Amino acid sequence: MNEKNQAPLRCGLLGEHLSHSFSPLIHSLLADYPYELYEVSRDCLGEWVRNNDLSGYNVTIPYKTEIMQYCDALSPQAEKIGAVMLGGGLPKHYTLASNLLKGGIDA
C-alpha cells in the first residue's frame, strides 16, 4: 500500500523499444512499488494512454512529444520544452530523485 493506505502503486516506463532499460532494476532497489516496461507501438499509443490502469508512468523516446496530444493539461515546463516525461496521476513525491534522497543519495 502507498503512504495514504490506498491501492498499491503501479508504475512503469512507456516507450517503443525498451529491452535495454535498467529502469525496473533501479526502481526495485530504490522504491517500494512495481515498475514495469510498456513497449507500445505508435499506432496504439492513444488507446494505451486512455486505457492503462497505472498510477503513473515515465515517457521515453520516441513518445515524449507525441504524448502531449493525449494530456488533459500540461505544466508550464512541458509547454516550454515541448515534451512530456511523466504521465498519469503519480504524485511528485514518487519521482526517482525523491527515492534517491530517501535512500540517502544526494540527487
Active site residues: 64
Residue by residue, DSSP assigns 44-99 as GHHHHHHH---SEEEE-TTSTTGGGGG-S---HHHHHHT---EEES--GGGSHHHH
Distances (CA, A) of 82 to 40, 66, 87: 21, 10, 14
